[in-house]
Amino acid sequence: MQFEKDGNALVCRFNGETLRIEAWGKDSLRVRSTMLGKFTGNDWALTETPEKTEPTVRVETVDQQPLATIVNGRIKAVVNFVGIISFYKDEKLFLREYFRMYGGTISRESRCLKIVNREWKGIIGGTEYSLNVKFEPNPDEKIFGMGQYQQNCMDMKGCVLELAQRNSQISVPFAVSSLGYGFLWNNPAVGRVTFGKNYTEWIANATREMDYYVTVADTPKAILANYTAATGHADMFPEDLMGLWQCKLRYRTQDEVLTVARQYQKEGIKIDQIVIDFFHWTVQGDWKFDKKYWPDPKAMVDELHSMGIKVIVSVWPSVDRKSENFYPMMERGLLMRTERGAAQTYDYQGDCVQIDPFNPETRKYVWEVCKKNYYDYGIDAFWLDNSEPDLGVYDFDHYRYSAGPAMAVSNLYPQMYSRTFYDEMKKEGKPVVNLLRCAWAGSQKYGNVVWSGDVPSTFEAFADQLQCGLNMGLAGIPWWTTDIGGFMTDDVNDPDFRQLLIRWYQFAVYSAVLRMHGDRGPYDIPPLDDRDWGGGYLHTGQPNELWSYGEDNYRIMRKYYDIRIGMHDYIKKLYEEAHENGSPLIRAMFYEFPEDPKCWELQDQYMFGEKYLVAPILHLNQFEREVYLPAGTWRLTSNGEQYTGGQTVKVAAPIEYMPVFEKC
């Protein structure tokens, strides 16, 4: 092993590998290695200029073997003579690479299994490698963050996670450890992470370099502050979008949109934004209104604006062969490519290929079309649906982008797709708030409200969304939301569904974005025409406005709407925190109470900021529940009763009320 100091970085060379460890902001280190002789220069999620620090780099000989150390504030990395990296916080070991090869200097490394800490395997015929990086386990550790996975585990210790984007699965590879460190796998390759009992293993299926970032702090809040300082902060969220967003699958005409908006105005309910969903267009990839059903979009937008309502319209990244844009984009190389067989990547309601947003020419082309056909009419924002992208088959080795094989870069797709719009809209000098179904590390800085995807309308799925939202926040994505009531509903008249809807709505009031949406059955509404294309042929769901579910439910939702509006100044403060230090709006209990061991065990209650403890009702016909109260004095908002913290209490939860405690 050869060590050298390169400015404020430590560089190590061994057996064809170049390893570089450097200070990257406060109490943080960035670690890269490559087998290709030089680094790519890609910063991926680490886009922000790191805070200047004064690290120390030392190379010495210990027991006749070379040893190198880099210290940056409270974090230290030590590299031994065979390249094993050990990380220390305040001189206490918290992470070490796994190595089971003969000849090590530490007894448990001296094995004959021939398992190395960083395993590179060249992909035959290409310049990429598969990469496997292993770390020793910490048996008592809890791991949170990592984005959104549809499961009932909030603590990721013991979990195997696919590092890939799918509808309702969002890979944001930043982990927060209960041991006081954060770890970013700064690599957009498709792969896998295993937080095992015997070892932790990160795998990139195709990559040119290893790249990760480690930061240390005493609390999750401080860890997230370090991380978002390196990857970017969310913009300040506009005050006029902090109320109710109205949406359904799907408003089919501009008259339907205006009728709903006028009724809300008549009811005295201010909606901040109304959403125009998919298949308002002619065919996928035309990115324009079907004039038969949307004859005067500008007049529609003008009337909505006069009511104080902003307008957001759905744009998909799929381009049908029948689209007027398909062949111009195909000829110019602006679409995804397949490695074999037919050029098709998506087959829902058409024969489609997705755009390639890694290509700046693609981003320019799509924006110019959408600006002409939407933005210039006054459309305020874009619902960038299918932003994973959704694929006919998730065979990532079958696809390729201008930036390289999908296996190497595709986790970055949703971020590049969002930048197609964000980068241009930002030039207008107005706040940019677009709605996406997927994200990656650093997406918080590109105006992304991320929702949890097309999830079922079940209490089980509802419970999963809670841990999804908490972990998304811990992965640095504070603008997160769900489809209230879930997306897929068979029968809106089912009393069980209506109970679920109310419980989900109550939860959504105490979340970042309050948004009505869903595909509401039964599908007995006839299409507008018998064409097999255009804005009239596809089905629509049942009504999904607040008054659509009976007078009793309307009364409850109206009451909670008033609660939301009454919290406006408080919610604004939470968005300011997200902008300043990366704090999410919905927070795991340990985020606010890291010193309380019980709070590290809870995933069915959360803090909405620092003030409100929220206990959602996650089961059918549940009308009371237990709630753990950390130390302090707490007031139950339903009746004003006060409780002393440090105990678990049982409280009533009639359908009209979700237990919420205010910290006194």
Catalytic residue ranges: 385, 388, 454
| Cα–Cα distance, 127 to 321 (Å, whole number) | 33
485 φψ region: left (φ > 0), alpha (ψ -120 to 50), beta (else) = left
Asked whether 472 and 146 are in contact (CB, 8 A), the reply is: no
The answer for residues whose C-beta is within 8 angstroms of residue 527's C-beta and 6 or more apart is: 536, 537, 538, 539
Closest CA to 209 of 37, 32, 79, 440: 32
| Cα–Cα distance, 396 to 400 (Å, whole number) | 8
Cβ atoms within 10 A of the Cβ of 6, count?
10
Task: Retrieve residue 344's tokens.
Answer: 């098709």
Asked whether 634 and 643 are in contact (CB, 8 A), the reply is: yes
56 φψ region: left (φ > 0), alpha (ψ -120 to 50), beta (else) = beta
Three-class SS state of 48: coil
Please state the three-class secondary structure of 422-476 as a single string. Answer: HHHHHCCCCCCCEEECCCCCCHHHHCEEEECCCCECCHHHHHHHHHHHHHHHHCC
Asked whether 56 and 44 are in contact (CB, 8 A), the reply is: no
CA atoms within 13 A on the CB side of 78: 16
Cβ atoms within 10 A of the Cβ of 495, count?
10
Terminal-residue alpha carbon distance, the chain: 58
> Which residues is 182 bridged to in the sheet?
176, 215
| Cα–Cα distance, 401 to 388 (Å, whole number) | 14
Please state the three-class secondary structure of 218-269 as a single string. Answer: CCHHHHHHHHHHHHCCCCCCCHHHCCEEECCCCCCCHHHHHHHHHHHHHHCC
Q: Give CA separation, 179 vs 142, 226, 581, in Å.
A: 8, 16, 21
Q: With the C-alpha atoms ordered 507, 513, 515, 517, is the resulting torsion angle positive or negative?
A: negative
Task: Retrieve residue 142's tokens.
Answer: 């809890």
Cα dihedral 376, 378, 383, 386 in deg (nearest 10): -20
